[in-house]
Amino acid sequence: MPGPVGRPRREFRNYQQGILPAGPGARNLTEFFASIDEKLDATAATAPKTQRSDRNVLNLLTKRARVLYLGPANYCRFTDPSRALCLKLAGTPTADRPLVGMCDSARCPQAIHHPCHRPVWSEHAESTEIFLGQLGTTRKTERTRLQADYYRALRVVAEIDAATTTDEEPT
């Protein structure tokens, strides 16, 4: 299983192949990956024999990996506590680390969804849909909440798919 830097490295390689992240924090991460790409270009220019080796990528990613938290349904790029939705919900906006247990990655600006998170959201949408079908008509409050949950999961899946396919134009 990839370690804390292994997974960002894999996502960086995906980025290089046009498989982009999705979610509110995706743009920030894409810019970060672009800056790594630039640094690798600069290194290659000053040292022609230097390859874009995993070691170079690893070194650059490691510097920022400490702000990256890896969850099963999303990654969290925790660069600004004041923007962390989990901390706002918990009433601890100055904490120095996210409250992953209270993560609401579909709404937090620091959340990022990658293709590896798609199965979690897809399964969540499917199970919620089944649950909705079994719900009695009198349970309106629960139905409203589950429907919002269902649509949110579908939206995340659609965003992941869109980000994955956007740049895959034929060359």
Residues that bind ligand SF4 (CB under 6 A): 76, 78, 84-86, 98, 100, 103-105, 108, 110-111
Q: Which is nearer to ligand SF4, 52 or 83 (CB)?
A: 83
DSSP string computed for 7-75:
HHHHHHHHHHTT---BSTTHHHHHHHHHHHHHHHHHHHHHSTT----HHHHHHHHHHHHTTEEE-SS-E
CB closer to ligand SF4, 2 vs 93 = 93
Q: Which two tokens stand for residue 68?
A: 């990256």
Minimum gap (Å) between residue 152 Cβ and ligand SF4: 14
CB of residue 68 to ligand SF4, shortest distance in Å: 10
Q: How far is the CB of 127 from ligand SF4 (least distance, A)?
A: 21
Which C-beta is closer to ligand SF4: that of 70 or that of 154?
A: 70
